[in-house]
Structure 1
Amino acid sequence: MTEPLPRSSDVALLDVHRLRFVEAATPLLSTDDRSAMDRVWEEAVRANPSLFDGPVAACAGVEREGPHSLVVSWARTTYRHYALRRVPGAVSWLPSLFVAVVQPTDDGRLLVARMSSSTAAPGRWQLPGGSVEPPDDQEPLDPGTLRRHAARELVEETGLDMPPGELTLWRVTRGRNGNIGALFTAPRKPASFLYERFEALVRSETADGVQPELDRIALIRSPGDLAGLDGPHVDYLEPVVRLYTRAVPQP
């Protein structure tokens, strides 16, 4: 039996052992909403030509299915749809569905990263990760898909080539605006190794004329360290750092 998650203005970190995904229809947009969405999107692209209107899986709803199980409804759309969030009065926008990786160091710190100026959220600190792409028509969207996507995001953004099987679902976060994120933990790595892989990635992409998705990484030990970061951070970051550093024994 399923029951909707209650709405909350706070970020929730849900202890989830089982995730089930159900595809839903994309909400139909009114003529006014579509016109406003296109206007806001085109303005955003003029300000940042690196933005692209690629396919994305958005969250269409989430329900509990037992104490540690969630059913997530998702819909196929494109990044343009997220421009509706910035349209006053729009009611047909959907929250995002994303993955992120909690990457610890040998000494118990966590890797956080700053989005570069070419991204949709320049200067924002978050965990490595990104929006979930919809699978092909014949492919399911399931935890295995999300795990592979998380591993791909990790190597593309930080240079850390992690086999998907080494990532473990840790928590599901629900943001203040309804965004749903699957958080995976990775095995601990030496801090020097994390910096080396990231610096090698930045050198390689810069040499190829590509601007990296992340322009900086940092290692933090406690929520208080977030105050030292130069820029805003995603709503889930402080609760994740607080819970992880409290729950995991420090060396």
Structure 2
Amino acid sequence: MTTRGPVEFLDVRRVRLVEAGSLRVTPEEQQAVDRLWAQAVAGNPHLFDGPLVACTGLHRPRPGVLELRWVRATYRHRALRLLRAPGSWVPSPVFVTVLQPTDEGLVVGRGSATTAGPGRWGLPGGSAEPPGTAGLPLDEAALRRHAARELAEETGAGAEPGGLTLHAVTRGEYGKVGLHFLAPRLPAALVRSRHRGLLAAHAARGDEPELDRLAFVRSAAELHGLGPQADYVPQLVARWAAPQRAGEGQLRNFLGRGGA
């Protein structure tokens, strides 16, 4: 499950999620995990040991379909990657993001000081969470709802879950799996206005937003100079931008021929 280097894009059109037992941790590992978590919280008191969906395996029952097997974990269990030998299985977080296109490019945001990645740029989104109510499944529709909620909470821009489409599935360092959804296009001015309102609401409550700054990028090159970024960002932005540039080139060629 451990991968390093460039993020891998999986050729997937549909994801099926299957709960696969429970997380297995030895008493010695749990003690070490608890110690490392206490050290992390001492450095950032805003950290929250929330529920987490951890991938245990990926399977391809047929072309275009990915079966993702998962167990319930919490944020502290990510420390197992520091404790287990290279090549052994570690809980691989599953996360969702939203690609929000605008007339000025794709929305990216910077994590505030209270997040797990302060100062790091990424797409609106967050770690997937296991169902909290017995009987409710964790499926692609549930992840789509979660992605829409993260978009609203982090940018103030709303999107109906049914309007999100699965754009890409990635696997990154330590095997973490990302499901990236594409939202309908919005005016950049509207996104800015809603994010300003979100910042004002947080300021009035005396707390911090998850994303303290937004930017709009049309290509991976425009990411340069923003600052540290989540590993998937440059490749995902480049993948999204490629058909946009191709369409613009076709339009220029068409206009160059006089629209004939």
- Give the TM-score, by structure 2 length: 0.89
| CA shift for structure 1 position 25 | 2.2
Stretches of structure 2 that go unaligned for 5 or more consecutive residues are 252-260
More helix by share: 2
Matches within 5 A, 1:143-154: 143-154=140-151
* Native 8 Å contact 1:98 1:182 kept in 2: yes
Q: Show the counterpart of 2:118.
A: 122
**Secondary structure at the residue paired with 2:147?**
helix
| CA shift for structure 1 position 32 | 2.5
- Give the TM-score, by structure 1 length: 0.92
Between the aligned partners of 2:34 and 2:21, the Cα distance in structure 1 is 20
| CA shift for structure 1 position 6 | 10
* Native 8 Å contact 2:55 2:69 kept in 1: yes
Q: What's the CA shift string for 1:73-109, capped at 9, x where partnerless?
A: 11111111112233464855311101000011124x1
Between the aligned partners of 1:22 and 1:190, the Cα distance in structure 2 is 38
Larger Rg: 2
| CA shift for structure 1 position 7 | 5.7
Matches within 5 A, 1:163-202: 163-202=160-199
Between the aligned partners of 1:134 and 1:88, the Cα distance in structure 2 is 24
Q: Show the counterpart of 2:51.
A: 55
Question: Which residue, out of 200, 221, 227, partners 2:218?
Answer: 221
Q: CA RMSD in A?
A: 1.9
Question: Which residue, out of 155, 159, 163, partners 2:156?
Answer: 159
* Native 8 Å contact 1:29 1:92 kept in 2: no
| CA shift for structure 1 position 126 | 0.6
Stretches of structure 1 that go unaligned for 5 or more consecutive residues are none
Q: Show the counterpart of 2:36.
A: 40
How many residues are treated as equivalent by the alignment? 245
Question: Which residue, out of 82, 85, 93, partners 1:86?
Answer: 82
Q: Show the counterpart of 2:255.
A: none
| CA shift for structure 1 position 165 | 0.9
Between the aligned partners of 2:34 and 2:89, the Cα distance in structure 1 is 14
* Native 8 Å contact 1:13 1:239 kept in 2: no
